[in-house]
Copies of this chain bind each other. A is one copy, B any other.
């Protein structure tokens, strides 16, 4: 640990940082973000709080880093969708892509949903931008009030239902189907023809 024992990746520098994130995720999942102190993370890693602070300037930054993978996937889906020409196709692609991301990362969402503090941590970064772009794509440019409300309800409904502990045991495909249906009803999209 001390010197020259970091065979990790090509760079070799991200060893501790990666372990830190993995440990943080585990502790966050077990106790929730707020209830997990930097001291606990440091202890679990066998280092001191200050060592943790070397890698992340703040606790929110750790939470943000833990959340990032899911957000990146969402960003990809958003870009794909925005490149489509027809509005219906854009909405459909974004909907199914969003549902995919939610289902795949539902453990993470459950975590964040339970700890609104994380929401704040994310809001500081680019998640706010993502949510604005999602709203634009879902609701369209007409600024129709009822569309905007429906889009908002769809986003939070899908995300928080997908992350709800009650449905944690449901298998991915089933959950995906149900959440798609939620989105279709709210966004006024027809069920895909069989």
Q: List residues of A whose CB falls within 8 A of some B CB.
A: 33-34, 113-117, 119-120, 145-146, 148-150, 152-154, 156-158, 160-161, 164, 166-167, 170, 174-175, 178-179, 181-182, 185-186
Q: Report how far A122 CA is from B41 CA in the complex, Å.
A: 27
Q: Report how far A174 CA is from B164 CA in the complex, Å.
A: 29
State the Cβ distance, A59 to closest chain B Cβ, in Å.
12
State the Cβ distance, A141 to closest chain B Cβ, in Å.
16
Q: Report how far A185 CA is from B187 CA in the complex, Å.
A: 10
A178 touches B161 (CB 8 A): no
A34 touches B116 (CB 8 A): yes
B164 touches A152 (CB 8 A): yes
Q: Report how far A157 CA is from B181 CA in the complex, Å.
A: 14
Cβ-neighbour of A157 out of B113, B119, B156, B174 (below 8 A): B156
B167 touches A161 (CB 8 A): no
Cβ-neighbour of A152 out of B113, B119, B120, B161 (below 8 A): B161
Of A119, A145, A157, A160, chain B has the most CB atoms within 10 Å of the CB of A157
B156 touches A160 (CB 8 A): yes
Question: Quick one: closest B residue to A163, CB to CB?
Answer: B156
Of A116, A117, A170, A174, chain B has the most CB atoms within 10 Å of the CB of A116
Q: Report how far A186 CA is from B161 CA in the complex, Å.
A: 13
